[in-house]
Structure formats: C-alpha cells, structure tokens
Chains A and B, each alone.
Chain A
Amino acid sequence: MPELSSIANINIVNPMSIASEDMTYIDWQTIAKAVANAFNKGARGIVITHGTDTMHYSSAVLSFMLQKLPGPVVLTGAQRSGDRGSSDAFMNLVCSGIIAAKSDIAEVGICMHASSSDDYCNFIRGTKARKMHTSRRDAFRPINNKPIARVSEKGNIEYLSDYTKSTGESLELRTGYEPKVALVKFYPNSDPAIIDYYVEKGYKGIIIEGTGLGHVAIAPREAAYSWLDHVKKAVDSGLVVGVTSQCLYGRVNSSVYRNLRLLAEAGAIHCEDMLPEVALVKLGFLLGNYKKSEAEQMLNKNLVGEISKRTEADWFMV
C-alpha cells in the first residue's frame, strides 16, 4: 500500500498474529502496553489492525486501560480478505492512517467502512462501537452515540460530534484485569441457577443482559424461574452485579417498574446506556485495578465516554 507512506512515517510493531475470537485479556494487556510504549517513544497516533469479531471488546478495554491519551488510537480491520481487489482493508487502513496521523482526537476508536460503498469510513468511539453484522463491510455502528468523525481516503476528516483532545498530561496505563467476570443473558425460561454457577466458580462480577429497561424474571408463576433470590445471593456473596439491556439501544432504568426496583434493591447496578460487552470489560477492568467498593461506585459512572448523560434524538440506527 504505497499511499500509506505518503500519509505518515510508519513504524510497524507486531505484538501478535491471532484470530480475534482466540484473544484473552492477556492479549489486551499486551496491546495496551505496546500502545503506551509507542506513545512514549514519540508516536503521534497508533493504528491497530485487528480481527473484526472481538474488535469492539478490545476497543472498549483499551479505552479504559489507556487514559489521558496524547493522540488517537485507531483499531481497524477488514470484513473481506485482502487477497481480493475489492477488499475493504485498503480503504480502512488508509482512513485509519489519516485519523492517526492528522486528527487531534485523543481517544480509542474503531475506523471502518461507513456504508457498503468505498466512499468514507466512520471513526467510532471505542466504548460505543459494536459489530452489528456478520459480514457487511459497514458492520461497525455507533450505539447510543454518533460517529466522532468520518474520513475519506482523500484525507478529509469531518468531525460529527464532541471528542476528547489531548491535555498534555502524561498517559495513564492501567493494565490490571479481573477475568472472572461473566456476561449472562436473560431470556424467557432461562434458568437462574447460572448465577449460582458463577458464584460457586469464584467469579467476582456478573453483567446481566436483561430485557427492555433491564429486566429479569422476578415473580413468575413458577417460582423456580425467578432470578431475584439468585441475584441477591450473588451480591451477598460479594459479587458486583451490573444490569444492561439486550435492546442495545437506549438506557436501562431501575425504577419504572416494580420488578426493576426489586432487582435494584437486591443490589444489582443498572448501567445506564452502556453496551453489555462494554459493561463486561469495564467491570473486569475496575475489579482488576480498584477495590471492590470503588468498582461498585464507578461501574455506572462515566469514565471515558462509555456512558452518556443525554441520549440525543439522532443516535438511533446510525
């Protein structure tokens, strides 16, 4: 790709070659350290080429691990293999290079095709991005957010929403991570004993992906299907339990319905408009770097843009 060298001076580091579904938190830690190292050596911006399947987990966890960034950290990949002339890899890489080399954004984000056409890429906040299609090149969408910017191969960056710029402070690297956190989906007829399983296995935290505003079964006709006592038991056993929504779009709530209130009273923390996967890695990050009581406090407070106080009207299905 000869045009990359006309965008920036590039130094290439290869921390790993691995399928993204095979990655663990140890790989996240390795990448976070590599990024910090590159910035400390004077890099202006970083591009990370990454498998697309778990790219949004990585972008979220890197957002937490790398705070007070001096410049942009851009994750990118391809939905079509690079052996074909039609691959999205080329434009994604060029656009990512442009963001890394030219923008004053100091955040972690994902830069991939904005549409099925090869016209421009979106740069999406790392904690608000999600892979929403198995195969399309515009699979990554901002959820409960707008793209920070869109960028064309020709080099135009159009900023679409507020973003963090560098303050000149030094980068804060925190690579602690507690892997014993689980993401559990509630669904009709789901067995709440799954919560007990994680408690018994010594887990430190659970994120529940509830329905609608953040529901799980509380008072079903068959008492065995109620999650309430199980959640209570988990909290009493010392786990941090967070609640998100499988709707993905929108904000959970702990008071609109009686069932929500009971769940909150049991000690579950409703996680605002945070994506389930983001809440998961945030909880792992918090439990890996802070005391449990601090983690509980911080889980539903915004740290790096993962929670928005306001949901703007044009943030749906972007």
Chain B
Amino acid sequence: MLMRDESYYKSIGFMCGLEIHQRLATKEKLFCSCDATLKEDTQIGKVVRKQRAVAGELGKIDMSTSFESSKNRQFIYNLYKHETCLVDIDEEPPHDLNSEALEIALQIASELHAKVPDELETMRKVVVDGSDPSAFQRTILIGYDGYLEIGKKRISVPSIFLEEESSGIEQSDKDTVVYNVDRLGIPLVEIDTAPEISSPNEAMEVAKRIGLLLRLTGKVQRGIGSIRQDVNISIKNGARVEIKGFQELDSMPEIIEHEIERQANLIKIEAQLRKNGAEVGEPSDITEMFANTEVKLLKNSIEKGGIVEGVRLKGFAKLLGTEINKGRRLGTEISDYAKLAGVGGVIHSDEDLQSYGFSSNETQAISKKLGIKAGDAFLLITGQREVVDTAMKYAIERAKKAISEVPKETRSADNKLLVTKFLRPLPGGSRMYPETDIKPIEVDKKHYENLLKSVTSVEQVQKELEREIENKELAEQMLWSPLLSLYNEILNKTGVPGYVVAPILLQKYTELRREGVNVEAISTDAILAVFEEYKANALTKAAIGEILKHAPKSRKEVFDLIKELKLQKITGKRLEDLISQFAATSKDDLIKKIMSTYRLTVDGDELSKLLNKKGK
C-alpha cells in the first residue's frame, strides 16, 4: 500500500491520537479480591440482567447511551468460582483499591514522565453495552501532562488512567448478549496520547513504543487481548472516529489509510448530495404491495408476520452505490446502522434488484408508491414491526448525516479487509460521574518522585539484552517481542542464560507456530519447568523444543512428557556407559553414531569433551 510523506497528511488535516489499554499482572482484581490471573476456572452459575439508559448524576442521557439501550437486550453473566464475587456482579460495594495495581500504574505513569494528582478520585464511566454488570466502569486519573519520546519527537500523553477491565463477550444476538465475568475488574491502565501523531506509520510506531515501555515494567499481562490499541483519527471536513480492535500493529497504518479514504469519499458524496438538493423522506409501510411477491427475503419475512417499510431518498441515486472503500459503499454504511436494530440489512435501489427477485413491475410500483423521481433512490427494510421501526429510524439518521457531515463514530477494525466498520455513535462527554462508594486516595508524592528518578532507559535495556543474548539481532527482536517479560522471568527464576532462552522464545516458537503448534497455550509454569530441568542438567537443548511441540499447559504435563517421550538427559556416568556400548573407527564416527540415536538426550558438547578426556 502506498504510504505518503508527512506533508500530505498535514495537507488533508490528518489528526490522530491513541488510547492504549493494558491489563496489569496483579494477583487480585482492582476493587475486590477475586483472582486476576485468568487461570482456568469453573463456572458456578449465571445471572440475567437488563440495563437502562439513566441520567447519571449530571442529569444528561448521553446519545450513545440511549442508542445502545434502545436495543433492549438482556444480558447473561456467567459466574466463576475464583474469578467472580458479588462486587463483580453489582451486588456488593467495591472494596479498597488494590495497592499492587496502584503501584504498577504509578510506575507506568513515571515511565511516561507524567504528573500525578495529590488525591486520586475514582469515577464511574457509563458503559452501555452490558459488558459491565453495574453499567459503569470504575476509572481513576492517575497521571497527566506526560510525554513519550520517539526519536527526536515528543508526543504528549495528557492522561493515564487506572481502571477496571470489562467482561469478555461469549455470544451475542439481537436479544441476548452472554458475558463471562472472569476478566471483569482486572486492573487496566489506559494511556491516551494527544492528537499529535502525524502519519499512519507514526501511529504504529507510537503504539509499539508504548507497548514496549509497558512490557519493560515486567508487571503487565501478556497474551491475546491483554493489550488493546484504539486509534482516534479525523481529517479536514471529516469527523473524529475511534477505531477499536486492531489485532496486528503492522496492519494499523493500512487500516488508518482506508479510514482516511472512507472519510474523503464521504466528503465527496456529501458535496454531491447537497448539489442534488438531497433529502430523506418519511418512511411508509408498503407491506401490502408484496402480498404475492417472489422476492424470497420479503416473502419469508411477511409469512412470519413481518412488514416492509420503504423510504424515498431524494437525490441519492447512484450515490448509495458509490464505493467508499473497496467493496463498501454508502449503502453499506446505512445498512450497518440498520443492523444494530436487529435486521439483516437494507435493500436499496442502487443494488441489483433483479438478483433479489424483484420484477420490473414491482420496482415500478415501489417507485410510484414512494414517489421516486429521476435522481432519487429508495431504501427498503423488512422484519418484525418494532424492529423495522427502529432499524428505519437508524437508517434514516445515517442517510441524513450523509447530506450534512461525516458522522462521529466508534468503528471496529476489520483485520482481514483492513477497513473500519460502524460499531456505534461516538459517546459524548457526559459519561463520567463520581464513584461515591470509594473515598479519595492520597498519593505518596515522595515515593512517586523516586519512581520518576528511576525510569527505565530503553537503550540500557537493549544493551543488557545484547550482553545476555550475545547476538545483536536476536537482542533487538527480544526487545520488541511480547515475550520480553517471559524472557526476563525465565532468566530471573531459573538462571538459564539469555543466549539459550532467547533462541527458544524467538526462533523455536516461530518454527513451532509454522508447524501449527499453539505456542500461545504454553503456560508460564510449564515453560519455567522446562528451563528448570534444563538448568538442573536433566534436559538437553534439543529436548526443549521436543517438549514444547506438545504445548504443555502445566508443570505436571512437562514432567509427564519427559517420562513418556523418554527425554531424560543421558549424562555423566550414564553417558560413559553408553559410549562403551559403541564400537567406532574414530571419534567423529562415534559421535555420529551416538548422536543419530540419542539426538534428544545426549548433549553433543558433553560427549565430545568426554571423548577428548578419554583420549579417543
């Protein structure tokens, strides 16, 4: 994909800032004593809840709040033995703030050179998607006025929050969403940058750099979902859009490029619509005219008691079908809004109506009924009446916006198509109010001053890695790897040198991943056990890879594998006994013979040394 230079982005008024969310590695959750380590747990029950849009303490119902609430869904929360308590399911007031989490958060704030408030005030951030059983997320401003240095540039970090993780979604349909209340309440740090990022590439670099700083603390969770990057972008005459759900940072620039493309195309469409004198009509029920229709979609819907509503879009002809991203059109955007109400999508007149099964008579009848003239388009929605009413309301809202502005939205990254898709309107400002159940917390300023004095130097860490790993390239890779904290943990706990550990975590893991091994499933306990055995001279380096092939999830599994696969290292006296069983013409021949059978259990160096000693 073509990447332009910074002056181009300046010329289109590109504005971009990041919100990074990182789960902390604490024993307990932020406001209760539930297990925060996300081990396997047993489900012990569930509760079913509903939520409403409420005014909070500021007396205003937020637009995105009422949008979501109008979906009128029920939420099912799965409850777990060690990871859910009454605090999580909004049945008990929060306990005191987790001091371990506070310490890590302060350390992160210090790494970003932030100031900390004298007193920490817990706030409630209204959450409307049901992912929090209390309908709000507790959040604390922990740092402000910080910055990140990236090369010679400084990116401001205006705010750093310590907050609660949300529940993970298990399943969702239009009536019900099922959440797992296991990760809910795990401490999370949110780092916000100012909109000073000047290109899509720089967005990726900043995200990577913040990720590195977080990993270097050694106190953050790793693994899928433990860090999330939201990108806020806008262009001149466009609108601020928050993009969530990036999976690979490397594809972030391209997704941002496509968002720029989308906004630019919407601006063009907007101008054309205005020129056309575009207007959105009033919807009308046109079910009757489809009594004998052959359009399967409509026929099935009407048989189930559904209705068909249509609306005239004056001056929209050809524009609904105009591509804004590859394979995506203005019609797709409108359809995404309607889908939120629970319909499958919309039918519009820029589509190939014959492929739906519309006869030309039907098309003419629709046009007549809706008052469609040359240059106009129409939109049809079918389904149960109450669903269609809401879907039509949303679709009309979006269509009207097309004439006036690019809408402010929260969008999700499609990591396959590398485009963004509508999630919900961007929440306004009235989403926070004070958490009255928790007293303000005083910050130990002296302690924070000390943290500021001992900030990590990335260059220092890199040098250290080069010394340990004895390979510049691998050291660089290790620095940027999500497994850096695992690497440090292995070195600290087992004493195995970096030049042994790094190749396993980088090269061996990559190799195993290619072979289809789920290396992400290997538990920390298991990998520690493997290196402990290696350190105790009970395993060879070659055997390590053999064990990891089976992606062990526990210590016990590691020991079982060693036994089953007969991987105990042959060393010392036993190795001498083994040598004596072989006859060979030369030392090299002997080594070759032994290693061809005992590749996984005999260490070649040891064998060679032993043979030298024996003078063979």
Binding site for B on A (CB under 8 A): 79-87, 90-91, 115-119, 134-137
Can you show 25 pairs from A to B with CB atoms below 8 A apart? A79-B91, A81-B436, A82-B54, A83-B55, A84-B90, A84-B134, A84-B135, A85-B51, A85-B52, A85-B65, A85-B126, A85-B128, A86-B90, A86-B133, A86-B134, A86-B135, A87-B54, A90-B52, A91-B50, A115-B47, A118-B48, A118-B49, A118-B50, A135-B91, A137-B91
B124 partner residues in chain A, CB cutoff 8 A: 83-84
Task: State whether B90 touches A80 (Cβ < 8 A).
Answer: yes
A84 with B92: in contact, given A117-B49, A118-B48 (CB under 8 Å)?
no
CB distance from A176 to the nearest CB of B (A): 39
B91 touches A86 (CB 8 A): no
**Binary contact track B357-388/A, C-beta < 8 Å → 1, others 0:** 00000000000000000000000000000000
B residues in contact with A117, CB < 8 Å? 47-49
**CB-contacts of B457-481 with A (<8 A):** none
Q: In the complex, which residue of chain A has the Cβ closest to the Cβ of B57? A: A83
Cβ A86 vs Cβ B51 within 8 A: yes
Flag if A116 contacts B57 (CB, 8 Å): no
A118 neighbours in B (Cβ, 8 Å): 48-50, 74
A135 surroundings in chain B (CB, below 8 A): 86, 91-93
B136 contacts A84, C-beta separation under 8 Å: yes
CB of B89 within 8 A of CB of A116, answer yes
Task: Kindly state whether residue B56 has any CB partner on chain A within 8 Å.
Answer: yes
B136:A136 contact, CB within 8 angstroms: no
A116-B47 in contact (CB<8A): yes
In chain A, what residue has the closest Cβ to B92?
A135
In Å, the complex CA distance between A90 and B51 comes to 9
Smallest Cβ-Cβ distance to A139: which chain B residue? B91
Interface residues of B (CB under 8 A from A): 47-57, 65, 69, 74, 86, 89-93, 124, 126, 128, 133-136, 433, 436
Complex contacts, B55 vs chain A, CB 8 Å: 83
Residues of A within 8 A of B65 (CB): 85
Which of A80, A82, A84 has the largest number of chain B CB atoms within 10 A?
Answer: A84
Which residues of chain B have C-beta atoms less than 8 A from A87's C-beta? 52, 54
Residues of B near A90 (CB, < 8 A) are: 52
Q: Is there an interface contact between B47 and A85, defined as CB atoms closer than 8 Å?
A: no
Cα distance A143–B128 in the bound complex, in angstroms: 37
The residue in chain A whose Cβ has the minimal distance to the Cβ of B56 is A83
Counting residue pairs across A and B whose Cβ atoms lie within 8 Å, the total is 58
Within the assembled complex, what's the spacing in Å between the Cα atoms of A262 and B146? 76
3 A-B pairs with the lowest CB-CB distances in the bound complex, closest first: A85-B135, A85-B51, A86-B135
- Residues in B with CB closer than 8 Å to A86 are 49, 51, 90, 133-135
| Max chain B C-beta neighbours (<10 A), residue from A80, A81, A83 | A83
Q: In the docked arrangement, what's the CA distance between A79 and B53, Å?
A: 18
Tell me whether B54 and A84 are in contact (CB under 8 A): yes
A79 — which chain B residues lie within 8 A by C-beta? 91
Q: What's the nearest-Cβ distance from chain A to residue B64, in Å?
A: 12
Q: B133: which A residues are within 8 A, CB to CB?
A: 86
Since A82-B54, A116-B47 are in contact, a sample of 6 more A-B pairs with Cβ atoms closer than 8 Å, ordered by chain A residue number, is: A80-B134, A84-B90, A85-B65, A116-B91, A119-B48, A134-B92
Residues of B within 8 A of A134 (CB): 92
Residues B91 and A83 in contact, CB atoms below 8 Å apart: no
Residues of A within 8 A of B49 (CB): 86, 117-118
Report Cα–Cα, A116/B93, bound state, in Å: 15
Assembled-state Cα–Cα distance A126/B503 (Å): 72
Task: Tell me how far the C-beta of A127 lies from the nearest C-beta in chain B, rounded to whole angstroms.
Answer: 26
Q: Of all chain A residues, which has the CB nearest B76?
A: A117
Q: Which residue of B lies closest to A85 (CB)?
A: B135
CA distance in complex: A90, B135 (Å): 14
Residues of A within 8 A of B50 (CB): 91, 118
A82 to B128, CA, bound (A): 15
Q: How far is the CB of A67 from chain B (nearest CB, A)?
A: 36
B33 to chain A, nearest CB (A): 16
Task: List residues of chain B with CB within 8 A of the CB of A119.
Answer: 48
User: Which of A80, A85, A90, A115 has the most chain B CB within a 10 Å cutoff?
Assistant: A85
Chain B residue contacts of A116, Cβ below 8 A: 47, 89, 91
Complex CA distance for A264 and B55, rounded to whole angstroms: 57
Query: What residues on A are CB-neighbors of B47 within 8 Å?
Result: 115-117
Q: In the complex the two chains form, what is the Cα distance from A91 to B47 in whole Å?
A: 15
Are B89 and A83 closer than 8 Å at their CB atoms?
A: no
Of A82, A84, A85, A136, the contact of B86 (CB 8 Å cutoff): A136
**Nearest CB of chain A from residue B600's CB, rounded to whole Å:** 54
Give complex CA distance A116, B433 in Å.
Answer: 25
Give chain A residues whose Cβ lies under 8 Å from the Cβ of B57.
Answer: 83
Point out the residue from B52, B69, B91, B433 that lies within 8 Å of A136, measured CB to CB.
B91
A-chain residues with CB within 8 Å of residue B89 when the two chains form the complex: 116
Give chain A nearest CB distance to B71 CB in angstroms.
Answer: 12
Cβ-closest chain A residue relative to B55: A83
Shortest CB–CB separation between residue A86 and chain B, in angstroms?
4
Alpha-carbon distance between A115 and B51 when the two chains are bound, in angstroms? 16
B154 CB to nearest chain A CB (Å): 39
Nearest CB of chain B from residue A7's CB, rounded to whole Å: 16
Contacts A136-B91, A136-B92 hold; do A83 and B433 have CB atoms under 8 A apart?
yes
Look across to chain B and name the residue whose beta carbon is closest to the beta carbon of A137.
B91
Q: CA A80 – CA B52 in complex, angstroms?
A: 13
Distance of B549 from chain A, by nearest CB (Å): 45
Residue of B54, B92, B433 touching A85 (CB-CB under 8 A) = B54
Q: Are A83 and B90 in contact (CB under 8 A)?
A: no
Question: Which of B51, B74, B93 is packed against the most chain A CB atoms within 10 Å?
Answer: B51
Decide: A85 near B69, CB < 8 A? Known: A80-B90, A135-B92, A136-B86.
yes
For residue A68, give the distance in angstroms from its CB to the closest CB of chain B.
38
Which residue of the partner chain A has the closest CB to B87? A135
Q: How far is the CB of A158 from chain B (nearest CB, A)?
A: 18
Distance to closest chain A CB from B582 (angstroms): 71
Instruction: Give the complex CA separation of A61 and B126 in angstroms.
Output: 39
In Å, the complex CA distance between A83 and B91 comes to 15
A80 contacts which chain B residues (CB < 8 A)?
A: 90, 134
Q: Determine the chain A residues whose CB is within 8 A of the CB of B91 once the complex forms.
A: 79, 116, 135-137
Q: How far is the CA of A117 from the CA of B89 in the complex (A)?
A: 10
The residue of chain A having its C-beta at the shortest distance from the C-beta of B89 within the complex is A116
Give the CA-CA distance A275 to B502 in the complex, in Å.
Answer: 69
